[in-house]
Amino acid sequence: MVVLKKRAVATVIVVIMLFSSYIASASRQDGIPVLLYHHVGNDDGGLPRLTITADEFERQVALLHNAGFETISPEQLIAYMKREEVSLPERPILITFDDGYDDNYANALPILQKYGFKAVFFVVGINVDRAQRLSAQQVREMAKSGFAIGGHSMTHSDLTQLSGPELEHEILDNKRQLEGITHQESLFFSYPYGFFNLRSWKKIESAGYQGAFTVLSGVNKAGRDNIFLLRRIPIFSTTDFDALLARLTGTYSAHMLLDYLPEHMDSIINSATDGLL
Ligand SMILES: [Zn+2]
């Protein structure tokens, strides 16, 4: 009887060990998620779909934190994508913000810091120091505090529609400007509206950026996805974050997250058409 009990306990332990190692390795095996935020605060700047309140942002960050997610740097993501040796947490995630709103500094930053999270802020060149946008001083301070500052073009134009010199201005001048502000290299780019083509991708690469982010949905998987076409999951005011988290913490496969796409791609396309992203 005692022997049987011991065997049963041993079996349960082995099953639990196997199960937890399967769960633990699930997220890295299946790819790394990158979240995309815009406004965080009470003032939506006329963009309600792209705005979540600070309370909701903190709820989402706390849920990620409690689920064991740890933010990684974009450099770690790129190393993983290139299959280089890199130390990653059990549940890695990257958090990004597009467009450089000043509420990112005022509202999102303190919450990220409270939970020990990092993020990447993609800044539009001509908007620096404009009303409701990040100031050069704030951008510098964020970079100093260990947050990455990336390019999001000079004027938020659709890069696929530009001539060579215009493309050069949008990508290179934005990079130089941000580096002048932060005194650090700006190594990552996000495509305005998520629009990309081969020319813009190659220009971003030759400008010295190490990777570029789209709004293609799903998670980023080494060996499958391109580092200049990285996927992101946009978080809208209408996003069911608990349902998303359930997928991210489950034993999802990369394509399972792609069916998260339709509703959100509609929103992206609508937003892009409205010139909002
Ligand atoms: Zn944008």
Average pLDDT over residues 183-202: 97
Residue 98 Cα to ligand 1 middle (Å)? 5
Residue 276 Cα to ligand 1 middle (Å)? 7
Residue 165 Cα to ligand 1 middle (Å)? 21
Residue 89 Cα to ligand 1 middle (Å)? 29
Give percent of the chain above pLDDT 90.
74
Asked whether the predicted pLDDT for residue 273 surpasses 90, the reply is no
Asked whether the predicted pLDDT for residue 254 surpasses 70, the reply is no
Nearest to residue 37, comparing CAs of 65, 57, 64? 57
Residue 156 Cα to ligand 1 middle (Å)? 6
pLDDT for res 189: 98
Domains with residue ranges and CATH for the chain: 31-274 (3.20.20.370)
Asked whether the predicted pLDDT for residue 130 surpasses 60, the reply is yes
Average pLDDT over residues 192-219: 96
pLDDT tens by residue, 226-247: 999 999 999 999 999 999 999 8
Residue 251's pLDDT band (cuts 50, 70, 90): low
Residue 258 Cα to ligand 1 middle (Å)? 22
Q: How many CA atoms lie within 13 A of 112 on its CB side?
A: 24
Residue 209 Cα to ligand 1 middle (Å)? 18
Average pLDDT over residues 197-219: 96
User: Helix axis angle, 241-249 relative to 54-66, nearest 10°?
Assistant: 20
Asked whether the predicted pLDDT for residue 248 surpasses 80, the reply is yes
Distance CA(122)–CA(235), nearest Å, equals 15
pLDDT tens by residue, 76-118: 999 999 999 999 999 999 999 999 999 999 999 999 999 999 9
Residue 132's pLDDT band (cuts 50, 70, 90): very high
Residue 275 Cα to ligand 1 middle (Å)? 9
Residue 122 Cα to ligand 1 middle (Å)? 8
Average pLDDT over residues 153-171: 97
Residue 10 Cα to ligand 1 middle (Å)? 54
pLDDT for res 28: 59
Average pLDDT, the chain: 86
Distance CA(146)–CA(144), nearest Å, equals 5
8 A C-beta contact, residue 132 and residue 160? no
Residue 22 Cα to ligand 1 middle (Å)? 37
